Structure 1
Amino acid sequence: MDSPAMKSHYDYIVVGCGGIGSSAVYWLSKRVGNGVLGLEQFKLGHVNGGSQDHSRIIRLQYNEAKYTRLTRDTYKAWEAVEQESGVQLVYKVGAIQFAKKSVMGATIDAYAEAMDANQIPYERWSGTELRRRFPQFTVGDETVCLWQKDGGLVDASMANAVQIQLARANGADILDNCPVIRIDRDDHGRTVVHTPKGMFSCKRVVVAAGAWINHVLGSVGVHIPVVVTQEQVTYFATPHVKEFTKAKFPVWIYNSPKHDLYGLPIHGISGSKIGIDAGGNQVTPETRNFTPDPEREKACIHFLKSIIPRSLGPILESKTCLYTMTLDRSYVIDTLESRGWPEIVFCCGAGHAFKFACLLGKILSELAIDGQTKYDVMAFTMNRPAITDPTFKPQLQMVVQNDFTSKL
């Protein structure tokens, strides 16, 4: 149900109310109260983009210091929402990062180095130690592993809903089923956002539109090079339910040369969860469909039979979503000042941002209100080859054919 937007002018308008956008609305509303309008083109809680589902991984480990320097603050941001709402959103179950040493040992080392750079504690385990700690994993002795105790999951759909509800409590207005037609300036130089439900002027616009980023920014002549893919996750109805609860089973990521796989314990649905990162076909928001790919389901089954066999059972559900990835698979957090629109702040999460969503929303709110942020996001500006160089070759693990099993 829409909140009645009784005004035609707001201090700040947020375009997109998924994970990052709902957080931006929340953090803005904490500082400016009823001077905030959130616009969502679909119904709140929709499944058309990339912010839905029961659970998403959150972790301190990353393979680059530009991320690990932010991970602790990400947890703090989520904790602030939990404290204000009284609703638990983050569950720390521990995180496993593992691979075959001879194939991907250097990748595991890169994660360790990035954690070392920001004093994040972790343990290195052998395959034997992983089996001892978590016998659900039937890995070989050639496996190398990183264990980080603070990793876990975020309840994605709950987090989005809670942030919107808190924002409304702070005085923000939210309009859903309200797409942005264009952004321009009126005769007085004010920024105006045009929608089917009215025209709204503001001081600053925050764009967190996911796969629709260029639909919005294109109206001011800006195009951000992104690749949109249709991804999916699958839940299996394991008969060994207790072994895959949050009390017994960690989140995990398996690094392989072609695709990373990841999984989570039972949360919000009675099955264990698995997905293939960046394994989907390239689409647009208009051409995507909601039909799961059976070949990717088979690939997940093939992997689990070998590595986590007791997690298998009948397929409960496979769900699709969209990844919107910059060509270097790194975030963009910036203003459009260099393009003549300093009043527009935007973010692209590159297909791996939900864990950071609450912090990214806070950063966007600071950029919108203060013109700067206290967090180190210099590595995520527009001024880098993946955004500015038209000859930049995508550095993504993209599907080139449908024979997944041979690649994992």
Structure 2
Amino acid sequence: MERRSFEYIVIGCGGIGSAALYWLSKRVGAGVLGIEQFEIGHSNGGSQDHSRIIRTAYHDEMYTKIVADTYTAFEEAEKESGVKLVHKCGGLLIAKKGETDDVATKYANAMASQDLPFEWLPGNKLKEKFPQFEHTENHVAVYEKDGGLVDAAMANAVHIQLAKGNGAAVIEHCPVNRLTKQTNGQTTVHTTKGNFTCKKVIVTAGAWLNQVLGSIGVHIPVYVTQEQVTYLGTPHVKDFVKEKFPIFIYHSKDHDMYALPLHGNTGFKIGIDAGGPVVTAGTRNFTPDPVREKKCLDFIQKILPKALGPILYTKTCLYTMTPDRNFVIDTCHRQGHENVIICNGAGHAFKWSALLGKILSEMAIDGRTQYDIAAFTMDRDAISNPNYKTTIFEGGSLSGGKDHANDSKSKL
């Protein structure tokens, strides 16, 4: 492309990056460039699929105090595009009494602190509300009517297309080699397709985050895992459409399971949260793990047998997680690169992608954001302390988080 100088550049155009590109373009038009190392809409990272969970239920006020704004951010793109992205089919957080019900209580308390509506369901009420479930007598659940799913692939495409409509440029198949700071304070992005210069650069590169940041002496302690979801061809299709069945997360003492109703294909979607092996972006493969497939089938057999059916397919993706499983949203000013802005979604950010894109655009253009992101800076112990104990569950080791510290140090 002929133009080489922009006001703002976004590196990585997945869920968060495409949203950042969109929000930047709303204010600066053609002054923004998105750079993607693969093709737009690729499935190499963690941003692609038919559906992703969206919910107001979260374990900590750092999230619940801004969670409503992520719905509003998606609504902006829906209004401009005329495309429905968020489907509120309801959401459940299910826990077993005496094992993980403390987790459900923590979620309920965090929601109550922000006046977010929810309903506490003992096991009999859970089955009464959703008769598809079985053997719920020893369980409790937190139900939220605003939970649901985001059409992930559609959201990414809409953000990119609206950004282009505002004048933004996007270049694909363009890996970034390094960043350098110029004497005038601007940043040059060195790529396989030449160099591009800008006032501010936003790095939303997922599993490739440190490959970009390493050139300016910045390292975020993240570990990458290869995750997967399985789509089941349930014969009881009508019982699991999103008009009749919610998304749900099941907190067990060993793994967190999650499931979504039919959307985008005829499959009922089931997965294990953060249950995959530690890999790198270069060493991962796309081969499903039959052991984790079986765990999903065994789980469904116990609590939701009518959802069982033949495996349509299993799809892999990557989680790029911080040691405390919380976001990183910050600038690299500590290393003398205040014009480099970074965002890591810690393996649970797609539901937040529209809002995170807005936050990043405000940081780039205004130098600050209206949203409270103090808990997500690099100053916290989980990022600055190399001895911090790594956990894989949202909210720490509430459900007996597994320690990946040794794996992440030796393999990443």
The TM-score by the shorter chain falls in which range? over 0.9
The TM-score with structure 1 as length reference comes to: 0.96
* Partner of residue 224 from structure 2, selected from 217, 221, 228: 228
CA RMSD of aligned residues (A): 1.0
Mapped pair 1:246 → 2:277: no
* Partner of residue 294 from structure 2, selected from 295, 298, 309: 298
* Partner of residue 198 from structure 1, selected from 194, 212, 220: 194
Mapped pair 1:123 → 2:110: no
In structure 1, distance between residues paired with 2:249 and 2:270? 10
**Contact 2:234/2:268 (8 A) holds in 1:** yes
Displacement of 1:338 after TM fit?
Answer: 1.4
> What residue is the counterpart of 1:21 in the other structure?
17
**Contact 2:9/2:32 (8 A) holds in 1:** yes
Classify the secondary structure of the residue corresponding to 2:284.
coil
Cα deviation, 1:47-84, whole Å, max 9, x if unaligned, reads 00000110000000101111111110000000000000
Alignment of 1:196-345 (within 5 A): 196-345=192-341
Classify the secondary structure of the residue corresponding to 1:28.
helix
> What residue is the counterpart of 2:82 in the other structure?
86
Displacement of 1:344 after TM fit?
Answer: 0.4
Residue identity opposite 1:270 in structure 2: T
Cα deviation, 1:62-109, whole Å, max 9, x if unaligned, reads 011111111100000000000000000000000011111110111110
> What residue is the counterpart of 1:30 in the other structure?
26
**Contact 1:278/1:398 (8 A) holds in 2:** no
* Partner of residue 359 from structure 1, selected from 355, 360, 364: 355
Give the 3 Å change call, closer, same or farther, for CA 136–399 of structure 1 in structure 2: farther
> What residue is the counterpart of 1:167 in the other structure?
163
**Contact 1:281/1:399 (8 A) holds in 2:** no
Classify the secondary structure of the residue corresponding to 2:100.
helix
Residue identity opposite 2:111 in structure 1: M
Mapped pair 1:74 → 2:70: yes
Residue identity opposite 1:295 in structure 2: V
**Contact 1:281/1:398 (8 A) holds in 2:** no
**Contact 2:38/2:174 (8 A) holds in 1:** yes
Classify the secondary structure of the residue corresponding to 2:271.
strand
* Partner of residue 376 from structure 1, selected from 344, 354, 372: 372
Displacement of 1:189 after TM fit?
Answer: 4.1
**Contact 1:280/1:398 (8 A) holds in 2:** no
Displacement of 1:40 after TM fit?
Answer: 0.3
In structure 2, distance between residues paired with 1:316 and 1:129? 32
Classify the secondary structure of the residue corresponding to 1:181.
strand
> What residue is the counterpart of 2:43 in the other structure?
47
In structure 2, distance between residues paired with 1:205 and 1:311? 45
Q: Percent identity?
A: 58
What count of residue pairs does the alignment treat as equivalent?
A: 396
Displacement of 1:188 after TM fit?
Answer: 4.4
Mapped pair 1:388 → 2:379: no
Residue identity opposite 2:82 in structure 1: G
> What residue is the counterpart of 1:405 in the other structure?
none
In structure 1, distance between residues paired with 2:368 and 2:52? 29
Cα deviation, 1:212-251, whole Å, max 9, x if unaligned, reads 0000000101100001000000000000000000111100
> What residue is the counterpart of 1:60 in the other structure?
56
Deviates further, 97-106 or 227-236? 97-106
> What residue is the counterpart of 1:406 in the other structure?
none
Alignment of 1:1-20 (within 5 A): 5-20=1-16
**Contact 2:231/2:270 (8 A) holds in 1:** yes
**Contact 2:390/2:403 (8 A) holds in 1:** no
**Contact 1:182/1:195 (8 A) holds in 2:** yes
Residue identity opposite 1:317 in structure 2: Y
The TM-score with structure 2 as length reference comes to: 0.95
Residue identity opposite 1:214 in structure 2: N
Structure 1 stretches (4+) deviating beyond 3 angstroms?
A: 186-189, 397-400
In structure 1, distance between residues paired with 2:54 and 2:268? 16
Classify the secondary structure of the residue corresponding to 1:102.
coil
In structure 1, distance between residues paired with 2:116 and 2:354? 20
Mapped pair 1:107 → 2:135: no
Give unmatched runs, 5+ long, in structure 2. 393-400, 405-412
In structure 2, distance between residues paired with 1:338 and 1:139? 53
Displacement of 1:196 after TM fit?
Answer: 1.2
Residue identity opposite 1:135 in structure 2: P
**Contact 2:48/2:153 (8 A) holds in 1:** yes
Residue identity opposite 2:169 in structure 1: D
